[in-house]
Chain A
Amino acid sequence: MAEDVNSREIYEFLKTRIGARFRTWLQICSHCGLCANTCHYYIANGNEPGMIPSYKVRHLLEILKRKGRVDRKYLETVYHTVYHECNMCRRCTLYCPFGIDIALMISLLRSMLFSQGIAPEGLVKAIENYKKFGNQMAVTEEDWVDTIEWCEEEMAEELLGLKIPIDKKGARIMYTVNAREPMFYPQDIMEVAKIFHVAGEDWTVPRKEGWDDTNLAMFCGDLKTARLIVENTFKRAEELEVEKIAITE
Chain B
Amino acid sequence: MELFHDYIRDGKIRLREKFKEPTTVQDPCNVVRSGGLADKNRRLAEFLSEDFRPMKYQGNYNFCCGGGGGAMPMGGEMRKYRLRCGKIKAEQIRDTGAKIVFVPCHNCIDQLRDLSKEYDLGIRAIHFKEAITELMEIPQEMIPEED
Seen from chain A, the residues whose Cβ lies within 8 Å of a Cβ on chain B are: 40-41, 43-45, 83-91, 94, 103, 120-123, 126, 136, 157-162, 173, 178, 180-181, 185, 187-188, 191-192, 194-195, 197-201, 214, 216, 219-220, 246, 248-249
Asked if B144 and A44 sit within 8 Å, CB to CB, the answer is no
Q: How far is the CB of A3 from chain B (nearest CB, A)?
A: 20
Asked if B73 and A41 sit within 8 Å, CB to CB, the answer is no
Asked if B71 and A87 sit within 8 Å, CB to CB, the answer is yes
Q: How far is the CB of B132 from chain A (nearest CB, A)?
A: 6
Q: How far is the CB of B107 from chain A (nearest CB, A)?
A: 9
Q: How far is the CB of A216 from chain B (nearest CB, A)?
A: 6
Q: Does B20 contact A (CB under 8 A)?
A: no
Q: How far is the CB of B147 from chain A (nearest CB, A)?
A: 12
Q: Does B121 contact A (CB under 8 A)?
A: no
**Residues from chain B with Cβ under 8 Å of A178 in the complex:** 106
**Residues from chain A with Cβ under 8 Å of B106 in the complex:** 178, 180-181, 185, 214, 248-249
Mask for B116-147, Cβ within 8 A of A = 1, else 0?
A: 00000000000101101100101101111000
Give chain B interface residues in 28-51, CB to chain A under 8 Å: 28-31, 33-34
- B62: nearest chain-A partner, CB-CB: A91
Asked if A216 and B73 sit within 8 Å, CB to CB, the answer is yes
**Residues from chain A with Cβ under 8 Å of B81 in the complex:** 84-85
Q: Quick one: which of B3, B68, B129, B136 contacts A89, CB cutoff 8 A?
A: B68
Asked if A192 and B138 sit within 8 Å, CB to CB, the answer is no
**Residues from chain B with Cβ under 8 Å of A159 in the complex:** 138, 142-144
Seen from chain B, the residues whose Cβ lies within 8 Å of a Cβ on chain A are: 1, 3-4, 7, 12-13, 28-31, 33-34, 60-64, 66-71, 73-75, 77-78, 81, 84-89, 104-106, 127, 129-130, 132-133, 136, 138-139, 141-144
Q: How far is the CB of A52 from chain B (nearest CB, A)?
A: 14
Q: Could you list 15 A-B pairs, sorted by A, with CB under 8 Å?
A: A41-B85, A44-B86, A89-B68, A91-B29, A94-B33, A120-B74, A120-B77, A157-B144, A161-B142, A173-B3, A181-B106, A195-B136, A214-B106, A219-B69, A248-B106
Docked Cα-Cα span, A83 to B29, in Å, equals 17
Q: Quick one: which of B1, B3, B78, B88 contacts A84, CB cutoff 8 A?
A: B78
**Residues from chain A with Cβ under 8 Å of B69 in the complex:** 86-89, 103, 219
**Residues from chain B with Cβ under 8 Å of A158 in the complex:** 144
**Residues from chain B with Cβ under 8 Å of A181 in the complex:** 106
- B10: nearest chain-A partner, CB-CB: A199
Docked Cα-Cα span, A185 to B139, in Å, equals 26
Given contacts A123-B73, A248-B106, contact A195 B4 (CB under 8 A): yes
Given contacts A43-B88, A198-B142, A200-B12, contact A122 B7 (CB under 8 A): no
Given contacts A91-B33, A94-B60, contact A249 B89 (CB under 8 A): no
Q: Quick one: which of A89, A198, A249 contacts B64, CB cutoff 8 A?
A: A89
**Residues from chain B with Cβ under 8 Å of A188 in the complex:** 127, 129-130
Q: Quick one: which of A41, A90, A201 contacts B33, CB cutoff 8 A?
A: A90
**Residues from chain A with Cβ under 8 Å of B12 in the complex:** 198-200
